[in-house]
Amino acid sequence: MCHAFFDSASFYRELYLFDQAIAAEVGDAGCTHCGGKLHVANYPRKPRGIRGVMDASYQLRLSFCCARDGCRRRTTPPSIRFLGRKVYLGIIVILVTALEHGVCSVHRHGLTESLDLWPQTVARWRKWWQGSFVASRCWREARGRFVPPVDTSRLPGELLGRLVGANTDHRCRLLLRLLTPVTTTSWTGSVRVMIDPQTM
Protein backbone atom coordinates (compact mmCIF):
# COMPACT_ATOMS: atom_id res chain seq x y z
CA MET A 1 0.00 0.00 0.00
CA CYS A 2 1.41 3.37 -1.00
CA HIS A 3 1.41 6.06 1.65
CA ALA A 4 3.56 8.67 -0.09
CA PHE A 5 0.81 11.23 0.50
CA PHE A 6 1.56 10.91 4.23
CA ASP A 7 3.94 13.84 3.85
CA SER A 8 1.97 15.73 1.19
CA ALA A 9 0.88 19.18 2.37
CA SER A 10 -1.73 19.34 -0.41
CA PHE A 11 -3.40 16.13 0.86
CA TYR A 12 -3.81 17.63 4.35
CA ARG A 13 -5.04 20.90 2.86
CA GLU A 14 -7.77 18.97 1.00
CA LEU A 15 -8.83 17.28 4.23
CA TYR A 16 -9.16 20.68 5.88
CA LEU A 17 -11.28 21.97 2.98
CA PHE A 18 -13.61 18.98 3.35
CA ASP A 19 -13.90 19.69 7.08
CA GLN A 20 -14.72 23.32 6.30
CA ALA A 21 -17.49 22.24 3.92
CA ILE A 22 -18.95 19.87 6.53
CA ALA A 23 -18.79 22.60 9.21
CA ALA A 24 -20.53 25.09 6.90
CA GLU A 25 -23.35 22.59 6.32
CA VAL A 26 -23.76 21.96 10.06
CA GLY A 27 -23.51 25.66 10.93
CA ASP A 28 -26.18 26.63 8.39
CA ALA A 29 -28.58 24.03 9.85
CA GLY A 30 -28.59 25.69 13.28
CA CYS A 31 -28.75 24.17 16.73
CA THR A 32 -30.25 20.68 16.72
CA HIS A 33 -31.57 21.17 20.27
CA CYS A 34 -33.43 24.48 20.00
CA GLY A 35 -33.07 25.64 16.40
CA GLY A 36 -31.01 28.67 17.46
CA LYS A 37 -28.21 30.26 15.47
CA LEU A 38 -24.78 28.66 15.86
CA HIS A 39 -21.70 30.78 16.54
CA VAL A 40 -18.16 29.64 15.80
CA ALA A 41 -16.52 28.13 18.89
CA ASN A 42 -13.49 26.22 17.59
CA TYR A 43 -11.27 24.56 20.12
CA PRO A 44 -7.54 23.77 20.10
CA ARG A 45 -6.09 20.44 19.00
CA LYS A 46 -2.46 19.30 18.89
CA PRO A 47 -2.38 16.30 16.56
CA ARG A 48 0.71 14.12 16.87
CA GLY A 49 2.73 12.63 14.07
CA ILE A 50 3.59 14.44 10.87
CA ARG A 51 3.35 18.06 11.99
CA GLY A 52 5.80 19.29 9.35
CA VAL A 53 3.19 19.09 6.58
CA MET A 54 0.23 20.40 8.56
CA ASP A 55 -0.47 24.12 8.61
CA ALA A 56 -2.05 26.15 11.42
CA SER A 57 -5.54 24.92 10.47
CA TYR A 58 -4.70 21.62 12.17
CA GLN A 59 -4.36 23.35 15.52
CA LEU A 60 -8.16 23.81 15.63
CA ARG A 61 -11.14 21.47 15.63
CA LEU A 62 -14.04 23.24 13.93
CA SER A 63 -16.98 23.59 16.31
CA PHE A 64 -19.99 25.75 17.20
CA CYS A 65 -21.96 26.95 20.22
CA CYS A 66 -25.65 27.83 20.24
CA ALA A 67 -26.21 31.59 20.52
CA ARG A 68 -29.57 31.26 22.32
CA ASP A 69 -29.57 32.01 26.06
CA GLY A 70 -30.74 29.01 28.00
CA CYS A 71 -29.31 26.60 25.44
CA ARG A 72 -25.70 27.46 24.58
CA ARG A 73 -25.03 23.82 23.69
CA ARG A 74 -21.92 22.91 21.73
CA THR A 75 -22.27 21.36 18.29
CA THR A 76 -19.11 19.80 16.91
CA PRO A 77 -19.44 18.78 13.26
CA PRO A 78 -18.14 15.45 11.98
CA SER A 79 -14.55 15.57 10.79
CA ILE A 80 -12.50 13.71 8.24
CA ARG A 81 -9.29 14.94 9.88
CA PHE A 82 -9.84 14.10 13.54
CA LEU A 83 -11.05 10.66 14.62
CA GLY A 84 -12.92 11.65 17.76
CA ARG A 85 -10.61 12.29 20.69
CA LYS A 86 -7.67 10.33 19.29
CA VAL A 87 -4.55 12.50 19.33
CA TYR A 88 -3.32 11.12 15.99
CA LEU A 89 -5.12 12.09 12.82
CA GLY A 90 -7.66 9.69 11.36
CA ILE A 91 -5.49 9.03 8.29
CA ILE A 92 -2.65 7.83 10.53
CA VAL A 93 -4.96 5.55 12.53
CA ILE A 94 -6.28 4.06 9.28
CA LEU A 95 -2.98 3.49 7.52
CA VAL A 96 -0.93 2.25 10.45
CA THR A 97 -3.55 -0.33 11.46
CA ALA A 98 -4.18 -1.31 7.81
CA LEU A 99 -0.46 -1.90 7.30
CA GLU A 100 -0.47 -4.40 10.18
CA HIS A 101 -1.84 -7.02 7.79
CA GLY A 102 0.60 -6.74 4.94
CA VAL A 103 3.87 -4.97 5.64
CA CYS A 104 7.10 -6.56 6.77
CA SER A 105 8.01 -5.92 10.40
CA VAL A 106 11.06 -3.80 9.46
CA HIS A 107 8.96 -1.41 7.35
CA ARG A 108 6.22 -1.30 9.99
CA HIS A 109 8.78 -0.56 12.70
CA GLY A 110 10.27 2.28 10.60
CA LEU A 111 6.82 3.80 10.10
CA THR A 112 5.86 3.65 13.77
CA GLU A 113 9.25 5.11 14.72
CA SER A 114 8.87 8.01 12.28
CA LEU A 115 5.40 8.76 13.69
CA ASP A 116 6.57 8.43 17.30
CA LEU A 117 4.04 5.66 17.94
CA TRP A 118 4.13 3.29 20.89
CA PRO A 119 3.17 -0.37 20.25
CA GLN A 120 0.49 0.00 22.93
CA THR A 121 -1.10 2.83 20.93
CA VAL A 122 -1.31 0.70 17.79
CA ALA A 123 -2.75 -2.17 19.87
CA ARG A 124 -5.47 0.19 21.18
CA TRP A 125 -6.30 1.23 17.62
CA ARG A 126 -6.63 -2.42 16.54
CA LYS A 127 -8.91 -3.03 19.52
CA TRP A 128 -11.01 0.01 18.54
CA TRP A 129 -11.49 -1.32 14.99
CA GLN A 130 -12.47 -4.78 16.27
CA GLY A 131 -14.68 -3.55 19.12
CA SER A 132 -16.05 -0.01 19.22
CA PHE A 133 -16.11 0.54 15.46
CA VAL A 134 -17.71 -2.82 14.58
CA ALA A 135 -20.37 -2.19 17.24
CA SER A 136 -21.05 1.40 16.09
CA ARG A 137 -24.19 2.52 14.31
CA CYS A 138 -21.89 3.90 11.61
CA TRP A 139 -20.63 0.41 10.71
CA ARG A 140 -24.02 -1.28 11.15
CA GLU A 141 -25.41 1.11 8.53
CA ALA A 142 -22.42 0.87 6.17
CA ARG A 143 -21.65 -2.87 6.19
CA GLY A 144 -24.69 -3.78 4.09
CA ARG A 145 -23.19 -1.92 1.12
CA PHE A 146 -20.42 -4.50 0.78
CA VAL A 147 -21.01 -7.83 -0.99
CA PRO A 148 -19.48 -10.18 -0.05
CA PRO A 149 -19.32 -8.98 3.57
CA VAL A 150 -16.14 -7.32 4.79
CA ASP A 151 -13.95 -9.53 7.01
CA THR A 152 -14.03 -7.41 10.17
CA SER A 153 -10.98 -9.20 11.58
CA ARG A 154 -8.96 -7.44 8.87
CA LEU A 155 -10.28 -3.90 9.40
CA PRO A 156 -9.49 -1.32 8.23
CA GLY A 157 -7.28 -2.79 5.50
CA GLU A 158 -9.92 -4.91 3.81
CA LEU A 159 -12.44 -2.07 3.93
CA LEU A 160 -9.91 0.32 2.42
CA GLY A 161 -9.24 -2.20 -0.35
CA ARG A 162 -12.94 -2.63 -1.09
CA LEU A 163 -13.68 1.06 -1.59
CA VAL A 164 -13.65 2.19 -5.22
CA GLY A 165 -11.27 5.04 -5.87
CA ALA A 166 -8.73 6.17 -8.44
CA ASN A 167 -5.82 5.59 -6.05
CA THR A 168 -4.95 4.97 -2.40
CA ASP A 169 -5.30 8.58 -1.27
CA HIS A 170 -8.78 8.79 -2.86
CA ARG A 171 -9.82 5.55 -1.12
CA CYS A 172 -8.45 6.94 2.16
CA ARG A 173 -10.59 10.06 1.76
CA LEU A 174 -13.63 7.86 1.09
CA LEU A 175 -12.94 5.82 4.23
CA LEU A 176 -12.43 8.99 6.28
CA ARG A 177 -15.80 10.19 4.94
CA LEU A 178 -17.42 6.90 5.92
CA LEU A 179 -16.02 7.30 9.46
CA THR A 180 -17.40 10.83 10.02
CA PRO A 181 -20.35 9.68 12.17
CA VAL A 182 -17.97 8.28 14.81
CA THR A 183 -15.96 11.50 15.05
CA THR A 184 -18.52 13.45 17.11
CA THR A 185 -21.13 12.84 19.76
CA SER A 186 -22.78 16.28 19.71
CA TRP A 187 -24.24 16.09 16.19
CA THR A 188 -26.09 13.14 14.67
CA GLY A 189 -27.28 14.36 11.30
CA SER A 190 -26.31 13.10 7.85
CA VAL A 191 -23.47 14.85 6.01
CA ARG A 192 -24.08 15.61 2.34
CA VAL A 193 -20.52 16.75 1.50
CA MET A 194 -19.14 14.52 -1.26
CA ILE A 195 -15.55 13.30 -1.45
CA ASP A 196 -14.86 13.67 -5.16
CA PRO A 197 -11.35 14.58 -6.33
CA GLN A 198 -12.78 15.86 -9.61
CA THR A 199 -14.37 18.77 -7.75
CA MET A 200 -11.34 19.70 -5.68
CB 48 within 8 A of CB 88: yes
Whole-number pLDDT of residue 1: 46
DSSP 82: B
pTM: 0.87
Number of structural domains, the chain?
1
Report the pLDDT averaged over residues 19-29: 96
The verdict on residue 142 lying in a domain is: yes
The verdict on residue 192 lying in a domain is: no
The pLDDT mean for the chain works out to 87
The verdict on residue 194 lying in a domain is: no
The verdict on residue 198 lying in a domain is: no
Q: Provide the residue range defining the domain that includes 154.
A: 4-187
Cα(180)–Cα(167) distance, rounded to whole angstroms? 20
Beta strands, E only, the chain:
38-40, 43-44, 60-61, 64-66, 74-75
The verdict on residue 196 lying in a domain is: no
Digit-coded pLDDT (tens) for 188-197: 888 887 765 4
Using CA atoms, how far residue 75 sits from 25, 56, 155, 189, 190, in Å, is 12, 22, 29, 11, 14
Report the pLDDT averaged over residues 57-77: 95
Q: Which band of pLDDT confidence, cut at 50, 70 and 90, is reported for residue 65?
A: very high
DSSP 153: G
Least confident of 51-60, 101-110, 164-173, 174-183: 101-110
Tell whether omega for the bond before 119 is within 30 degrees of 0, i.e. cis: no
Residue of higher predicted confidence among 91 and 51:
91
The verdict on residue 148 lying in a domain is: yes
Report the pLDDT averaged over residues 159-169: 87
The verdict on residue 193 lying in a domain is: no
Digit-coded pLDDT (tens) for 91-133: 989 988 888 766 556 666 777 777 888 889 989 999 999 999 9
Using CA atoms, how far residue 148 sits from 139, 151, 199, in Å, is 15, 9, 30
